[in-house]
Chain A
Amino acid sequence: MRPLLFEHYRTAKQSLVRARMRTALTMTGVAIGVASITTILALSNGITNIINDQVKELGSSVAVIRPVSKQSSLQDLANPTPQNAYTTSPLTERDVESIYELKDTQAVAPLMTLSGSVRKEGASPERSSILATTPDFADIAKLKMSDGQFIDTVTLEDTAVIGTQLAVDLFGTEDAIGKTFLIRGQSFTVIGIMKRQNDPINYNNIDLDSAAIISFESGKLFNSGVAQIQQINVKAKPGVAMADFKQKITNLLRANHDHERDVAVYTGSSIAKPTSRLFSVISTVMSLIAGISLLVGGIGIMNIMLVSISERTREIGLRKAVGASNRTIILQFMIEALIISVIGGFAGFIGGYVIAFGISMFLTYDPAFSWAIVGWASALSVGVGVLFGLYPAIRASSKDPIESLRRYH
């Protein structure tokens, strides 16, 4: 059996080299398919890695409380923001206070997103958002200031901390400390500029780069003195078991909310769930689309194998006459198809990473290498070879040797 395999390999190599242009084009077809899948997997793995890192970091200490949204999963995708600014949130200031009183709690920050515009002498950046929160937010969200300070218990009510992008949009410079701007017509003074955020998971659902953060009290004033909390971020003391902590908060909130299950506590990876699910669905959909190009590559293999087989009808007849069984003929042509698809797949894999690194120059993260991608690329190229080589091979093997030998070129 083994000498026969070598023989098949030799035969396949000879016939592929003879039709080298055709072989190269067919391999390119497979390579393009495998390359696009590799690119997508490499990039999406890159982002997944970053998400996982961040989740690990969050998971050890941060819990997030959000109102339960009754959206279907498909709508979740289209709108991964469960805290809808237009619905009334069941979260109250009382909840914040009672969580704060828990002995395991280190910091609590209620998040109140306000509607309204941020303006400065006609400049009104569209993407800006207004967030009212407590000084603890800086600790929980690990905010870093590029200039000035975050709001604290002694800062005045008409002061605000703004993101770098908002500073540029409003004042044309990042150097905006002490300057004033308008939130819903009220004048605020900038006391701090936040550094640019670079995290793929934005569990606060606010683009902090273009946000203006004001104190929770000022936020309430804009809302007729009523707190309208969309989310509460809680940080546990070091060494606290998050599962217990989550349970404690849940029990507490159940008691506060007359045992209505209208809020949910998220810890660990579930905080990032909307984000990571969005990414995984996007990468799956893109891989499927890339799969179509692989399918086209496979059809190319089948096409070229069928041509090759009809060109070599007499050879097949002769091989059968001198002792090749049907299985041997199938194997011979399968190996030929496999050589095309495996070499094509390998080139595609390398090419895919080159493309992925090329694309990542425009992104904030690097593509990731993983053996799973190697596995997928090899499985797909072998699979394509087998799938699209089988039919031509079977057709070759079922040729009648007498008919085949009678044929002239």
Chain B
Amino acid sequence: MIEIKHLCKNFGRKKVLKNINCELSEGIYGLLGPNGSGKTTLLRCLTNLYPLTSGEIWINGISSKRGSKLRIGYLPQFFGLYKELTVKDSMRLFCNLKKVKGSDEKEIIEECLEAVNMSQYQDVSGRKLSGGMIRRVGIAQALIHEPKLVLFDEPTAGLDPEERMHFKKVISQLGKKETVLISTHIVEDIEASCDRVIVMNHGEICCVLSCKELVGIAEGKVYACKKGDEQQIPGKYFIEKQYEEDGEIYYRILTNEACEVLTPVSPVLEDGYMCVIKEI
């Protein structure tokens, strides 16, 4: 159980996180928000990398101020390896950093590499790995000390579709026992793997909802209309995307104002997210 109470984080005069309050139990949570909304800062506060300006974070009843003693697995947005070390040696280094017992090390490394489908690359040096492979080692190192809270910042960036599927399997297993928080821009990843979604904007949590509830927010607000017809919409609207159908250009529009030129469309998770962000 993760409890975040009145969390604020300032960088100089800039308020990046503003009075965050949230409770997370076991399961997989998606963290969605536009660039600069404070997602990475929140993750870094949870890992104790950033000192809090005010507020508290409790992880399984232990204050985050005792950070090093907590079992937190973290995959940062940008992850690299020592280029001269093999995958196995890099994992040994991570084991050492996270104080994994020497006697368990070999077994745990094998398990974690197996989980991310990297066992066959154990003896390959970091220099020879592709970006996606490095990302997979990053996921493996986050799991190496059997963490109680796992934080993934853009975990599937650079992974091919097959590896993304594999990653979803790994975290669905993990989410049965632990709390997993995934920050990503890829809404399909959230839809496919997360039990609940946290939407952040301007350093605040806008809502914590299930995927179904988030889709429900956009119910009756998603429309399609031909390019040019949007000018006839009487109230506030937001053009989500543009697409071509039968040689004509259409817009996918979010609005509260139904009118003749608009054709209702079934909402998806992205529509719900955009409704929250754009306050529609």
A and B pair up: no
- Interface of A with B (CB < 8 Å)? none
- Interface of B with A (CB < 8 Å)? none
